[in-house]
Amino acid sequence: MTGDAAKIRLDKWLWHARFFKTRTLASKLVSGGHVRVNANKVDKAATKVGVGDTLTFPQGSQIRVVEIAACGARRGPAPEAQALYLDKTPPQEPKARSPGADRVGGRPTKKDRRSLDLSRDRGLE
């Protein structure tokens, strides 16, 4: 291998860099056409990437932009994986939260019940 020595499959690199738990998940994202390599849409998991390539892909609720710094030989621990890329993702603005947003489901508080009862009483008059 002369020119491909510093190249690796896109799905394998995403898995090595710990962006996805399994290589299958990385492969599905790439096959779905959700990854861009150097601003070009890619739909084949076997696309070869190397040092200097810029990847843009969704991860959770944000869009990640990373530059490949190294190909990596294995899927190692997180510090080793973080050395494989330079994160160029723009910082996200914090979302506006409502006062009751900290609670996730469950029963309403006593204060919530009182305000609910007051709003119901006003609607009947």
- Tokens standing for 121? 């009483």
- Order of all β-strands in the sheet with 35-37: 40-42, 35-37, 54-59, 62-68, 85-87
Q: Specify if 38 maps to a domain.
A: yes
Q: Specify if 83 maps to a domain.
A: yes
Q: Specify if 49 maps to a domain.
A: yes
Q: Specify if 99 maps to a domain.
A: no
Q: Specify if 105 maps to a domain.
A: no
Summarised one tens digit per residue, pLDDT across range 65-100 is 999 999 988 999 999 999 999 999 888 777 766 665
Q: Specify if 84 maps to a domain.
A: yes
Q: What is the pLDDT of residue 2?
A: 46
Summarised one tens digit per residue, pLDDT across range 103-114 is 567 888 999 889
Q: Specify if 114 maps to a domain.
A: no
Q: What is the CATH number of the domain that holds 12?
A: 3.10.290.10
Domain count, the chain: 1
Summarised one tens digit per residue, pLDDT across range 37-53 is 999 999 999 999 999 99
Owning domain of residue 26 = 4-91
